[in-house]
Amino acid sequence: MSKRIKGMAVALSFVLLAAVFAAGCGQQNTVRRSDKIKVGVTIYDQYDTFLSQYMECFTKELEADEEVEVVVYNASQSQQTQNSQVKKMIEDGCDILCVNLVDRTDPTTVIDAAKKADVPIVFFNRELVEGDIGRWNKLFYVGADAAQSGILEGELAASTCLSDKTIDRNGDGKIQYIVLEGEAGHQDAIVRTEYSVDTLVQKGVEVDKLGYAIANWNRAQAQTKVAQFIENYHDSIELIMSNNDDMALGAIDAYEAAGMIKSEWPAIFGIDGTTVGLEAVRDDKMTGTVYNDKEGQAHALYRLTTTIARGGSIEELSDEFEVTDGKYIRLDYEKITATNINKYLKVK
């Protein structure tokens, strides 16, 4: 992680230096700044594993494009900080903004500032509510369908529970499970929790919920919460459904720290397919995960951002992506288990 952040910081300072250099050359500069698109990006938390991998893909695409200049800000989980960053990026002449909202229910300041300055925004990963995205025709969203990720996770868990009778360790015909939830109020946390368990039940698995914990997408927080569950339930937890890979990995950390042997572990499922998540599937610690296509989303974000900044429209991209309501591009999730893990480890 620190290497990635360092990489991002180095890339960023390169761009900033380039911008300073261009400005310093003033009118003698043969490269006209106005030929370039200036993209301003702000992300909710640079320590989020999935997002930092996503940003790596996105900045790589932007940096390979000589017609683009980019600045990246980290909002460190503060909406107020992000509001100031948006104002600063607009003042600094950004042609378009890519915003990963801190608080998806509170985009008013960001939208008002952009609208006033006529700077379009492509929101990504943290989806704002429909009423807000409808407030201006230059607001867009790139992401994925949260319900689909929940359904796929539920299907993975159901097929494991139905085909492997050893999962029901106490043999009572029911699967004792816990859910690890991301942030309260995040569309992916709410929807994944609901759809994953509903799908499991619809597929014919009888379940018995032992509890849930909110761990904010975070590995260390999940480890602490699962350690508490292990103290209360020891080896009676048969299944853990996690809203993302990092929290699933926190659960694995807790089982390892408790010194429990693998046959006492539950089946553990995640969502994301981050590098560490994929490795846990490869190493048979996580039973399965759902691919949250960061490469695809980063590419869609790049294509949409540069198209809109050049005065084009989202419809121009409808051959490449599924465009909904003239505002949304959503990429598909995919199931990952031991049987297809190599494709993801190699290709992605």
Site for ligand GAL, rule CB under 6 A: 48, 50-51, 125-126, 188, 217, 244, 271-272, 292
Task: State which of residues 137, 170, 318, 324 lies at the interface with Ca ion (CB under 5 A).
Answer: 170
Query: Binds 244, which of ligand GAL, Ca ion, none (CB < 5 to 8 A, cut-off by type)?
Result: ligand GAL
Q: Should residue 164 be labelled a site residue for Ca ion when binding is judged by CB under 5 A?
A: no
Compare residues 52 and 83 and give the one whose CB is closer to ligand GAL.
52
From the list 15-23, 55-63, 154-162, 171-179, the region that binds Ca ion by CB under 5 A is: 171-179
Compare residues 86 and 239 and give the one whose CB is closer to Ca ion.
239
Query: 255, 344, 330, 335: which is closest to 296 by C-alpha?
Result: 330
Query: Binds 125, which of Ca ion, ligand GAL, none (CB < 5 to 8 A, cut-off by type)?
Result: ligand GAL
Residues near Ca ion (CB under 5 A), total: 5
Query: Binds 168, which of Ca ion, ligand GAL, none (CB < 5 to 8 A, cut-off by type)?
Result: Ca ion
Residue 47 C-beta: closest distance to ligand GAL, Å: 10
Compare residues 116 and 165 and give the one whose CB is closer to Ca ion.
165
Compare residues 168 and 279 and give the one whose CB is closer to Ca ion.
168
Residue 54 C-beta: closest distance to ligand GAL, Å: 8
From the list 53-61, 111-119, 169-177, 311-319, the region that binds Ca ion by CB under 5 A is: 169-177
Compare residues 108 and 232 and give the one whose CB is closer to Ca ion.
232
Residue 126 C-beta: closest distance to ligand GAL, Å: 5
Q: Show the binding pattern over residues 174-203: x = contacts Ca ion (CB under 5 A), - = does not.
A: x-x---------------------------
Residue 188 C-beta: closest distance to ligand GAL, Å: 5
SS (H, E, C) the chain: CHHHHHHHHHHHHHHHHHHHHHHHHHHHCCCCHHHCEEEEEEECCCCCHHHHHHHHHHHHHHHHCCCEEEEEEECCCCHHHHHHHHHHHHHCCCCEEEECCCCCCCCHHHHHHHHHHCCCEEEECCCCCHHHHCCCCCEEEEEECHHHHHHHHHHHHHHHHHHCHHHCCCCCCCEEEEEEECCCCCHHHHHHHHHHHHHHHHCCCCEEEEEEEECCCCHHHHHHHHHHHHHHHHHHCCEEEECCHHHHHHHHHHHHHCCCCHHHCCEEECCECCHHHHHHHHCCCCCEEEECCHHHHHHHHHHHHHHHHCCCCHHHHCCCCCEECCCEEEECCEEEECCCHHHHHHHC
- Binding residues for Ca ion, rule: CB under 5 A, are 168, 170, 172, 174, 176
